[in-house]
Structure 1
Amino acid sequence: MQLDARAQTLLKALVERYIADGQPVGSRALAKISGLDLSPATIRNIMSDLEEMGFVSSPHTSAGRVPTPRGYRIFVDTLLTVDTIDESALESRLQSRIHSGSSQKVIANAAQVLSSLSQFAGVVLTPRRESVFQQIEFLRLSERRVLLVIVAPNGDVQNRLLMSDVDYTPAQLVQAANFINLNYGGLSFHDVRLRLQHELRQLRDDMTPLMHAAVEVGSDAMADNSDEVVISGERNLLSVSDLSSNMSSLRKLFDLFEQKTSLLQLLDLSNRATGVQIFIGGESSLVPLEQMSIVTAPYEINGRVVGTLGVIGPTRMAYERVIPIVDITAKLLSNALSSATDKHYK
């Protein structure tokens, strides 16, 4: 719905003032902060129109007005002026924290960076583990216990314990691993399973159970996505009165972090979008609280989108500051993970 210039200016002023102090904004305050040369009566009429259109509402306890989810939406889509920040300064500040360690550590650091800079909760949807493996290794732990080590193409490592009826020697385990790596490295465990039954004749018969066990356990390991969402700074939201003002809100907030179902759906949805996305409570069932907003951006590995990161905070957040934080952190995480992948292949 189109708003004329005066209505846009007043709505922008109202949202910005409400974000700043959390109090309903009256016509007299709008007359001072909007910069418009309008009478109080004209401002009241425009605000009544905005309320009728669903962009603002009037709390029962005050004559002032507050933005609705619809009002926030038009604000962030068309009225918001994003802060101009020194990207190079912020990048140098974050680079050492994000460009360090394994990919899991880098992702955890990114969530912490988002939390510390926004003072809300930082969240990262991790890349789905690829079903293919680069190489495996068998390590003899004891008489019938073998450790299966699986290395993915992106360098991630999975360890799984195999229980065997046969006491394999270290030489036999090396032979089995070499066979798999030479013939199947770079394939999915599903493809390996289909081919093994025809090609295991090249190995001794007593190696067959070990190979099949490795394929079954390896397939489960690569499909295990139990840690898909990394969250940092949840406790920050407990100090946000908008989100923790009553037990119902608190319960929904903790459900979001404990069950993660709606959060996964939302992040997966934004995974298919381009650039920064803003999800506002009250607009979608994916955001469980009307007082909550989530600002997200996808991140890449070598040009391919693999996950999403973002900031979870109150609807009354400083979007102009949070948006560039999310945007730049996504770019830095993309660079860090792409660099780690390149080093792994060299």
Structure 2
Amino acid sequence: MKTEISEKAQYLLKTLVEHYIEGGQPVGSKTLSDHSGLPVSPATVRNIMSDLENLGFVASPHTSAGRVPTAQGYRFFVDSLITVSPLASFDIENLNKNLDPDMSSHELVESASGILSEITHMAGLVTLPKRDQTQLRHVEFLKLNDNRVLVILVLDDHEVQNRVIYTKESYSEVQLKEAANLINRHFMGHALSLIRSKLITSMKSDQENMNSLMQTTLEVAEQAFDAKQEADFVVAGQENLIEMAEDQALNDIRELFKAFSLKGDILHLLDRCIDVEGVQLFIGAESGYQLLDECTVVTAPYQADGEQIGVLGVIGPTRMAYERVIPIVDATARLLGAAMDYSRR
């Protein structure tokens, strides 16, 4: 698309987008002529703007009210017209202060979501780490009543998870303790998903010689380390979207709040980003979800132990300060990953 637009038109488009992001009002030809620094008259600007409108980069919301960038115009602006600078040292220090490696993974995710919202004044969201990358430090099985067992998982990031499972057989406290000891002895430091699969593979391959302890361990472990749980995300700063919304977009933003409560579409969008390197932007309809048509989603994956285990980002109006938001999302992902790495040592 870049070859279709002259350098003069590109410069005027950049000026228009920057003015609209700053002020939120349609930008007229005289304003562009006065602020572009180009030796062009308002009449020339009008002709160029008309060409850009025909190409789909700008639109006229009202007759003689100036023009605003479209999602296509924002996309061209982000891809071709801005230079993203590294985050300032002050912002890096602020992020580091809020991403303490001594926090659990869930605390780190909540803090990252909050700091993204605080710095960008938009909605910050972070997915919880994929469980198949989480390593086991210790497990205990405690008998409750009937066939109910309390599972206590101590994970590699200082987090303790409790869950209740239901077994086919009613096991004694001694049987459950022996099963936990077997798992702790052989699988401490292993990924949760591998514990389950290795146990099932090794024990089912030798079912004829399987003793009572192995049977107990297999049934309890199949449920305790079940990796079918759907990843979730933490969101902060949804109220910022209401404050930043244009009048005509308020209904769309209110609908977006419903999406936060339903979570499914947003989770699916974030999951699409986990295997992609670096910052991703979904501007307007690019996300594929109608509720996000008036928004931009900026995401980046975060890593631990060299594996991409989650995604973070911000959701805001398409009229956002891209040169500011992109490096914030990028730096937060890197620092969150570093904190996750440190917490697993």
Q: Is the pair's TM-score, using the shorter chain for normalization, greater than 0.5? A: yes
Matched, 1:218 2:224: yes
CA distance 1:130–1:6, shift in 2 (3 Å): same
Please say which of residues 269-278 and 282-291 is displaced more in the overlay.
282-291
Partners of 1:246 and 1:145 in 2: CA distance: 48
- Could you tell me which of 21, 24, 36 is aligned with 1:22? 24
Aligned-partner Cα distance in 1 for 2:133–2:247: 39
**Matched-pair identity in %:** 42
Distance 1:133 1:319, change over 3 A: closer
Aligned partner of 2:286 in structure 1 is 283
1:330, distance to aligned residue in structure 2 (A): 0.9
Change (3 A) 1:132 1:118: closer
> Is the contact between residue 24 and residue 64 of structure 1 (CA under 8 Å) also seen in structure 2?
yes
CA contact (8 A) 1:120 1:312 kept: yes
- The aligned amino acid for 2:243 is S
2-side partners of 1:244 and 1:120: how far apart?
Answer: 18
CA pair 144-238 structure 1, distance change in 2 beyond 3 A: same
Kindly provide the CA deviation profile for residues 131-164 of structure 1, in whole angstroms up to 9, marking residues without a partner as x.
8863422234578754222345666543223467
Residue 175 to residue 282, structure 1, CA distance change in 2 (3 Å): closer
Q: Which stretch of the first structure deviates more once superposed, 66-75 or 78-87?
A: 78-87
Equivalent residue number for residue 93 of structure 1: 94
The residue aligned with 2:334 is 331
- Conserved? CA contact 1:279–1:287, under 8 Å: no
Secondary structure at the counterpart of residue 198 of structure 2? helix
The aligned residue for residue 228 of structure 1 is: 232
- Aligned ranges for residues 84-233 of structure 1 at < 5 Å? 85-87=87-89, 89-99=90-100, 100-130=102-132, 134=136, 135-140=138-143, 146-152=149-155, 156-162=159-165, 166=170, 168-169=172-173, 171-183=174-186, 186=190, 187-197=194-204, 198=206, 203=211, 205=212, 207=213, 210-220=216-226, 222-225=227-230, 227-233=231-237
Deviations 1:103-142 (A, max 9, x none): 1101110000100001110011222111886342223457
SS of 2:181's equivalent in the other structure is helix
TM superposition shift of 1:95: 1.5
CA RMSD in angstroms comes to 2.7
Name the CA distance, whole Å, in 2 between partners of 1:338 and 1:243: 43
Deviation at 1:53, TM superposition (A): 0.8
Secondary structure in 2 aligned to 1:136?
strand
Using a 3 Å threshold, how does the CA distance of structure 1 residues 202 and 270 change in structure 2: closer, same or farther? closer
Moved more, 107-116 or 53-62: 53-62
For 2:19 and 2:50, the matched residues in 1 are separated by 18
Normalised TM-score (structure 1) = 0.86
Unaligned runs of 5+ in 2: none
Q: 1:167 to 1:291 in 2, by over 3 A?
A: closer
Residue type at the aligned position of 1:53: L
Distance 2:284 2:145 in 1: 55
Instruction: Name the structure 2 match of 1:270.
Output: 273
Q: Is the 8 A contact 2:140 2:180 kept in 1?
A: yes
Letter in 2 for 1:303: G
- In structure 2, do the counterparts of structure 1 residues 282 and 147 end up closer, same or farther at CA, with 3 Å as the change threshold? closer
Instruction: Write the distance in 1 (CA, Å) between the matches of 2:164 and 2:199.
Output: 19
Q: TM-score, normalised by structure 2?
A: 0.87
Equivalent residue letter for 1:42: T
Q: Which amino acid aligns with 2:195?
A: S
Aligned-pair CA distance for 1:326: 0.8
In the alignment, the residues of structure 2 paired with residue 8 and residue 91 of structure 1 have an alpha-carbon distance, to the nearest angstrom, of 32
Preserved contact between residue 29 and residue 45 of structure 2 (Cα < 8 Å): yes
Deviation at residue 172 of structure 1 after TM alignment: 4.3
Number of residue pairs aligned between Structure 1 and Structure 2: 335
Matched residue of 2:72: which SS? helix
